Structure 1
């Protein structure tokens, strides 16, 4: 007897097969009989991204298990292998057999507490559509973020940032700059050591530019590439917490990672998601179990709940992370700001000498263009008044109007102070 694991939007289920040399067509017949998904409605793959494909056109790209005549053994599918299944519509899910409970004599059964009743009603399902129409990244800002991770950190450790931009009435999110707070990145985890003083300045600059926080961006380390998840439980927890804090229904979580291309080389790949409305509700109501006991074995592709929730008709405390991810379409644009000034909180500290270098390099441009860079404005803000100077300068940048001569002289003096 060979046991396969089948992972769908309903979680992981087991499939028993007698012959390890059956074909994919025969495997689909077994899935229909045991898991109640019609053969005509099945799309199978060994690639987990199948579960993120929302349309028939998206699913049609997964061809590794499309030929019904292919023996599963030729794909190295054997005992314990994990197969991904996508299907449309609903199905009957057979819950695993449980031992019958024994009711004491003279009792009508166990009383259910209010918590039990609430848990029975907490159903975790997939959210089919995001709350934002799309996300568009400023090309220079996105490139400056990934280039540092690629060239300096070699994707060996994680890196993160807070995305700022605008949200249109139609729900289109535009990311125009990325603020990188002080942080500690390791292969599996990312700690943002957020400085409230610096972040208040960032928010003030953003407000003056007509922008606000719109999302969170982070990288996955190259060592995570072979892991069996889209986002780990640590990444999901961090993304949900920041989404909830952001208080924006269109909030976007962006993931940057290395993917092997058809030629065997490596490409930097951006993906965008929203954390589902249900995940934010679960977080705010305290359902997630983020604490782990020392030495406890953790499956990174699932998130733990403090109480049972209902997933696919089953009561579970482990929820597949993909249930909380809603895919968002990605576009790019050329925003109003440049991203050529050195970026904060990286390996090399940013000094006023960088201000002079930047101004000298851009001296052929109008002064307002020369200072239209968020990272430059953040460095200048250390020498300016938060309530008077920053709003005045950012208004000039926002409207692309002439910078008063007094501010030009002040900025040039700051630049020359580091020489």
Structure 2
């Protein structure tokens, strides 16, 4: 007997086959009979991104298991293999047989506690639509972030940052700059060592520019891409914490990683999500269980462990497939009002006033307001200026593209020449 694991939006189920040399068409027949998904409604693939495809057009791009006459063995599908299934509509979930329970004499059944009742109400389903219409990245800001991770870190460790920009009434999120706080990145874990004083400066600059914090962006290390998940349980927990902290329903979580292309090379790939409403509720109500994971314990990164059972696909479970928590957001790009050519904070080397002097000399042919229209430059200046008066005034000039008063020009040039 050969067992194939089939992962769909309902979690992981199993299909039993007698002949390991059956074709894809015969496998679909078995899926129809055992999992009750009609053949005409099945899209199969070895690529997990199939589960993120929302329309027939998007699913039609997954062709690796489209030919029904190909033997599954030619795709190296065998006992224990994991394939992905996408389908439309609803179906009755086939639950595994359970041993009959024995009720003590004189009892009408098990008494349910309040926790049991609450757990029964926690039904984790896939949220189809995000609260934001789309997210658009400033090209320069996105390139400055991914180039550093690619060229300097080689995607060996994780890197993260906060995205700042605007949210329109229609829910369109525009990201115009990325702030990278002090941090420590490892292959699977990202620790943000947030500096409250520095973040106050960042928020003051953003307010002056008419912007706000709109999301979180992070990278996955190369080694993570081989583990078959979109986001790990650690990433889901961190993204949920930051989303919940923001209080912004349009908050976006962006993921940057390397993907192998058709030529065998690697391309930098951006993906954008919102954490589902249920995910944020579970986080706020402290359902996620990270504390019970022991040092050295082998944990499946594809699932998030719950402290109590929740209902997924009609089943009571304590582990939820992370893809249930992800709501795909469309990505666009634009050319925003800021440049991203000034050295970026909290990287390999501290940013000094020497960098400011070099930048001003390199851009001396431009109007002064254009020369300082860079968030990272403004953050460097903010360390020397009054955050309550000077920074809002300079940011207002940048926002309206009006001339910088001569007094501020002289002050900035003095800082650049200070040699600090």
* Structure-2-length-normalised TM-score: 0.99
1:228-267 residue pairs with structure 2 within 5 A? 228-267=228-267
Tell me the distance in 2 between the aligned counterparts of 1:260 and 1:48: 14
Instruction: Compute the displacement of 1:246 (Å).
Output: 1.0
Tell me the distance in 2 between the aligned counterparts of 1:255 and 1:101: 46
Deviations 1:89-118 (A, max 9, x none): 000002122222221111111110111011
1:185 matched to which residue of 2?
185
Instruction: Compute the displacement of 1:294 (Å).
Output: 2.4
1:8-157 residue pairs with structure 2 within 5 A? 8-157=8-157
1:206 matched to which residue of 2?
206
Instruction: Compute the displacement of 1:297 (Å).
Output: 2.1
1:272-283 residue pairs with structure 2 within 5 A? 272-283=272-283
Tell me the distance in 1 between the aligned counterparts of 2:342 and 2:296: 45
Any idea what SS the aligned residue of 1:226 has?
helix
Instruction: Compute the displacement of 1:296 (Å).
Output: 2.4
Tell me the distance in 1 between the aligned counterparts of 2:295 and 2:268: 35
Tell me the distance in 1 between the aligned counterparts of 2:375 and 2:239: 24
Tell me the distance in 1 between the aligned counterparts of 2:239 and 2:285: 16
Tell me the distance in 1 between the aligned counterparts of 2:290 and 2:99: 30
Q: Which moved more, 1:108-117 or 1:172-181?
A: 108-117
2:372 matched to which residue of 1?
371
RMSD over aligned CA atoms reads 0.8
1:173 matched to which residue of 2?
173
1:227 matched to which residue of 2?
227
Write out the 4+ residue segments of structure 1 that deviate beyond 4 Å after TM superposition.
Answer: none
Tell me the distance in 1 between the aligned counterparts of 2:389 and 2:104: 74
1:217 matched to which residue of 2?
217
Instruction: Compute the displacement of 1:403 (Å).
Output: 0.9
Deviations 1:251-273 (A, max 9, x none): 11111111111111111111111
| Structure 1 gaps, min length 5 | none
Instruction: Compute the displacement of 1:315 (Å).
Output: 0.5
Deviations 1:91-149 (A, max 9, x none): 00021222222211111111101110111111000011111010000000000000001
How many equivalent pairs are there? 419
Any idea what SS the aligned residue of 2:417 has?
helix
| Structure 2 gaps, min length 5 | none
Tell me the distance in 1 between the aligned counterparts of 2:371 and 2:296: 54
1:270 matched to which residue of 2?
270
Any idea what SS the aligned residue of 1:408 has?
helix
Deviations 1:182-218 (A, max 9, x none): 0000111100100000001100100000000000000
Q: Which moved more, 1:256-265 or 1:315-324?
A: 256-265
Deviations 1:32-82 (A, max 9, x none): 111010111000001100000000000000011101111111111100000
Any idea what SS the aligned residue of 1:200 has?
helix
The answer on 1:381 being equivalent to 2:360 is no
Tell me the distance in 1 between the aligned counterparts of 2:357 and 2:234: 41
* Structure-1-length-normalised TM-score: 0.99
